[in-house]
Amino acid sequence: MDEQKRLIIAIILSVIVIVGWNFLFIEPVTVDQPPPGSSSQVSDSEKSGSDKTADIGVEDYYTDTKTGHSVPGDSLHGQTSHLPEPEHFEQISVSTPLYNVVISEKRAALTSLTLTQYREEAKENSPLKQMVAPELTSGLFTFDMEGRGIPGLDRAVFRADTDTLHHIIRDREQKISFSWSSPHGMVIEKIYTFYPSTYLIGMDIVVKNASTMPFKDALEITLPFAVTKEAKAAAGFAAYGPAFYVDGRLEEIVPDDIEETNTFRGTVEWAGNGDRYFISAVLPREPSDSAVKLSTKGSIVHTRYVQSMERLDPGKMVHFSFQCYMGPKSLKVLGSYDNNLKKAIYFGWFDLLAKPCLIAMNMIHDIIPNYGVAIIILTILIKLIFWPLGTKSYKSMNDMRKLQPLMMDIREKYKNDRQRMNQEVMSLYKTYKVNPMSGCLPLLVQMPIFFALYKMLYQAIELRHAPFMGWISDLSAPDRLFDLDVTIPFMQAPYGIPVLTIIMGASMFLQQKMSPTTGDPIQAKIMMLMPIFMTVIFINFPAGLVLYWLVNNVLSIGQQYYIQKKFS
């Protein structure tokens, strides 16, 4: 046993001596300074053992057959494994009126960004909204070469050109540059530009070839996204995960579908990840032919923007210019930018109806700063637009109500002959020129508007944590009076009394009572169950949507009552 211990200790000491000798006394091998006695060409045995290498001279470079990229020869001979681990690095923080951001010198990655205008929850003491999930330990907007042609870039420590660790920006823009030089003569500079009045952050990447041989690869910028249960729950029915704008169309990819669809090529105007209310994206200042590549690792989705670069000869440099956005999916905010990032706000099939409603709601809010009141006024305006159609429909329904005694007589007379009963009822409709389907017309006309408003009110960040009155402190969440420590069937947490939803159900019940029945008593009973069914469905809907439906019901009841009195 002692001999084994001594053997192990001897091996460990030998490794320490060898590693220490190499680290302290042997010069690192670089492209510019090959070791004495070495050849600038690959030996015949190396050629025969690999298809990835070829003869290189001062003007030559290797081609990786897997990626198609040309990279420095040393990167293909295990040089990456000999690079030292990253040393100490600083965290640079920047504060603007809109956000607080932290950038690490390790990979010059953005590791934290909190939005000063938004909080995690509706509570007053809730922390500011964090755009970088804790699971994303590597940060956002890291970059590398797609063909890994610059060894060590994936763990490089960039040195900031500032001795100040915290910067406050109030009235002018400020640039902070991060630079790193590879052992093989490639010099990389990453420059962030911060502005006091916009969520956009400038990001420039400069690659300088200070080596003695050409370089060719493709730039790859990575934006990871954490697919957690909380992210899925917060998204609800909204899209979440990778989103990008390529060849003039919006692409939103569900994380579960990435294995089947993971590469998109074309003119990419922006690429990133979004959820119900927020989005993080990188935008090339001059969109060109590029690609978006998606991959997953555990619960992390990686969205990669890939842009090719021309051959970079020794002494030359290439400049990539981007903008980064991490902020709200607000039509007001994104619509003010001279780019197509506003296309990230998409309401599906009802987009053409939903966006005008959103614009109208925001215009009303500019006059009356309460989104609950804005929803009420918007509902009234929509009701006025469809008032003539509603009047015609309710008049027809009133005619149906007048026929109810005659219809009851027919049902009683032919109760044992359903076919004859239906024939007589249809003849009655024809005689009095009444359309039994006219009562459904107002609802059918409102359905597209309802779905458009549902999508808009569900996804509009303007309603996030927006209070209305009383117990309704968040129009984007279900209304709950009290916080009950019990589980209620059909209700999602938090549990409480859905007062607004119950009132809405009562209004639907009253409206149903006022509407004439067109079928037999059994059908009438089934129709009376509809308010209960709709109340159960609405119990988990955002309070803003329930408020719209309640106000619409009240207006419909008033209009229907007026028509019945006028034409009775």
Q: Which of 457, 452, 459, 453 is closest to 240 using CA atoms?
A: 459
Centroid of chain to Cα 444: 32
pLDDT tens readout for residues 147-201: 999 999 999 999 999 989 999 999 999 999 999 999 989 999 999 999 999 999 9
Lowest mean pLDDT among 61-70, 99-108, 396-405, 458-467: 61-70
**Residues 309/143, Cβ–Cβ less than 8 Å:** no
CA diameter of the chain: 114
pLDDT band at 543 (very low <50, low <70, confident <90, very high): very high
Ordered alpha helix ranges (H), 283-403: 331-335, 351-367, 371-385, 387-402
What phi-psi label fits residue 107: left (phi over 0), alpha (psi between -120 and 50 degrees) or beta?
left
Count CB atoms within 10 A of the CB of residue 281. Answer: 25
- What is the model's pLDDT at position 420? 83
Ordered alpha helix ranges (H), 386-498: 387-402, 404-413, 418-432, 441-459
pLDDT tens readout for residues 468-509: 998 898 999 898 888 777 777 877 778 888 999 999 999 988
pLDDT tens readout for residues 27-40: 433 333 333 333 33
* Calpha distance 343→267 (Å, rounded): 15
Whether cis (ω within 30° of 0) applies to the bond prior to 127 is no
pLDDT band at 292 (very low <50, low <70, confident <90, very high): very high
Is 388 exposed, middle or buried (CB count within 10 Å of its CB: 0-12, 13-18, 19+)? exposed
pLDDT tens readout for residues 318-329: 999 999 999 999
Per-residue pLDDT, averaged over 50-69, amounts to 37
**Domains of the chain, earliest start first:** 91-346 (2.70.98.90), 352-566 (no CATH)
> Quick check: 142 pLDDT over 90?
yes
- What is the model's pLDDT at position 512? 79
Count CB atoms within 10 A of the CB of residue 546. Answer: 28
Per-residue pLDDT, averaged over 449-459, amounts to 86
Per-residue pLDDT, averaged over 6-15, amounts to 45
pLDDT tens readout for residues 369-384: 999 999 999 999 998 9
Tokens of 104: 């690490």
Tokens of 249: 């169309």
> Quick check: 221 pLDDT over 80?
yes
What does pTM read for this prediction? 0.78
Tokens of 501: 């939803």
Does 404 or 549 have the greater pLDDT score? 549
Buried b (16+ CB within 10 A) or exposed e, 94-106: bbbebbbbbbbbb
Average pLDDT of the chain, as a whole number? 81
Q: How many helices (H) and strands (E) does the chain have?
A: 14, 20
- What is the model's pLDDT at position 13? 47
> Quick check: 49 pLDDT over 70?
no
Buried b (16+ CB within 10 A) or exposed e, 446-466: beebbbbbbbbbbbbbbbbbb
Per-residue pLDDT, averaged over 109-133, amounts to 94
- What is the model's pLDDT at position 388? 82
